[in-house]
Amino acid sequence: MGVDLTRKGSRKLGESLIGTALFACAAFSTLVTVGVVVVLARESVAFFSEVSIVDFLTGTRWEPMFQEQHFGILPLVSGSLLVAGGAGLIALPIGILSAIFLSEYAGARLQAVLKPLLEILAGVPTVVYGYFALTFITPLLRLVFPGTDIFNAAAASIVVGLMIIPTVSSLSEDALRAVPRSLREAAYGLGATKLEVSTRVVVPAALSGIIASFILAISRAVGETMAVTIAAGNLPNLTLNPLESIQTMTAFIVQASMGDTPQGTLAYRTLFAVGMTLFLMTLGMNIVSQWVMARFREEYQ
Amino acid sequence: MTTIYDIEVGEEGPALETRDLSVFYGETMAVDHVSFRVPERSVVALIGPSGCGKSTLLRCFNRMNDLVRGARVEGAVEFHGQDLYAPTIDPVEVRRHIGMVFQKPNPFPKSIYDNVAFGPRINNFRGDEDALVEASLRRAALWDEVRDRLEESAYSLSGGQQQRLCIARTLAVTPEVLLMDEPASALDPIATQRIEELIYELKKDYTIVIVTHNMQQAARISDYTAFLYMGKLIEYGPTDSIFTNPREERTEAYVTGRFG
Ligand SMILES: Nc1ncnc2c1ncn2[C@@H]1O[C@H](COP(=O)(O)OP(=O)(O)OP(=O)(O)O)[C@@H](O)[C@H]1O
Ligand SMILES: [Mg+2]
Backbone phi, psi, residue A272, to 5° = -75, -35
- Residue A299: the pLDDT is 58
Asked whether the predicted pLDDT for residue A297 surpasses 70, the reply is no
CA quadruple A221, A225, A229, A230: dihedral, nearest 10: -90
* pLDDT tens string A126-174: 999 999 999 999 999 999 999 999 999 999 999 999 999 999 999 999 9
pTM of this structure: 0.86
Side chain identity, residue A66: F
Coil vs helix vs strand at B228: strand
8 A C-beta contact, residue A244 and residue A222: no
Task: Report the b/e string of B142-181 with b at 16+ CB within 10 A.
Answer: bbebbeeebeebbbebeebbbbbbbbbbbbbbbbbbbbbb
Q: Where are the domains of chain A?
A: 2-49, 62-296
Judged against a pLDDT cut of 60, whether residue B246 lies above it is answered with yes
**C-alpha separations of A11 from A8, A14, A15, A24, A25 in Å:** 6, 5, 6, 20, 21
Per-residue pLDDT tens for A194-215? 999 999 999 999 998 999 999 9
**Does residue B25's CB lie within 6 angstroms of at least one atom of ligand 1?**
yes
DSSP state of B153: B
DSSP state for residue B33 in the 8-state scheme: E
Summarize the confidence of residues B178-184 as an average pLDDT. Answer: 94
Question: Side-chain half-sphere of B69: how many Cα atoms within 13 Å?
Answer: 5
| DSSP code at position B243 | H
B95-105: pLDDT as tens digits: 999 999 999 99
Q: For atom 31 of ligand 1, which residue has the closest CA?
A: B51
Q: What is the pLDDT of residue A190?
A: 96
Distance CA(B116)–CA(B154), nearest Å, equals: 10
Edge-to-edge strands of the sheet including B82-83?
Answer: B28-38, B16-25, B71-79, B82-83
The ligand 1 atom at the shortest distance from the C-alpha of residue B52 is 21
CA-closest residue to ligand 1 atom 24:
B50
CATH class held by domain A62-296: mainly alpha
**A263: pLDDT strictly greater than 90:** no
The pLDDT value given to residue A177 = 94
Alpha helices, DSSP H only, in B147-221?
159-171, 189-202, 215-221
Pocket flag, ligand 1, residue B81 (CB < 6 Å): no
Q: Which of A177, A71, A181, A163 is nearest to A125 (CA)?
A: A163
- What one-character DSSP code corresponds to residue A7? P
Cα dist. A263→A43, A73, A189, B244 in Å? Answer: 11, 21, 69, 96
Is the Cβ atom of B94 under 6 angstroms away from ligand 1? no
Res B67 pLDDT > 70 = yes
* Contact check, Cβ <8 Å, A205/B109: yes
Angle at A35 between CA A33 and CA A37, to 5 degrees: 70
Q: How confident is the model at residue B78 (pLDDT cuts 50, 70, 90)?
A: very high
pLDDT of residue A298: 53
% of chain A exceeding 90 in pLDDT: 70
Query: From ligand 2's centre to the CA of B47, what distance in Å?
Result: 10
State percent of chain B over pLDDT 70.
99
pLDDT at B260 over 60: no
Would you list the DSSP string of B75-141? Answer: EEEEETTEETTSTT--HHHHHHHEEEE-SS----SSBHHHHHHHHHHHTT--S-HHHHHHHHHHHTT
φ/ψ of A63, rounded to 5, equals -135, 65
What are the chain B neighbours of A204 within 8 Å (beta carbons)? Answer: 109-110
A187 CB neighbours in chain B (<8 A) are 108, 118
One-letter amino acid at A291 equals: W
The pLDDT score that the predictor gives to residue B9 is 77
Please give the radius of gyration of chain A, using alpha carbons only, rounded to the nearest integer: 24
Q: Tens digits of per-residue pLDDT, A226-256? A: 999 999 989 999 999 999 999 999 999 998 8
Question: Could you tell me whether strands B82-83 and B71-79 are parallel, antiparallel, or unpaired per DSSP bridges?
Answer: antiparallel
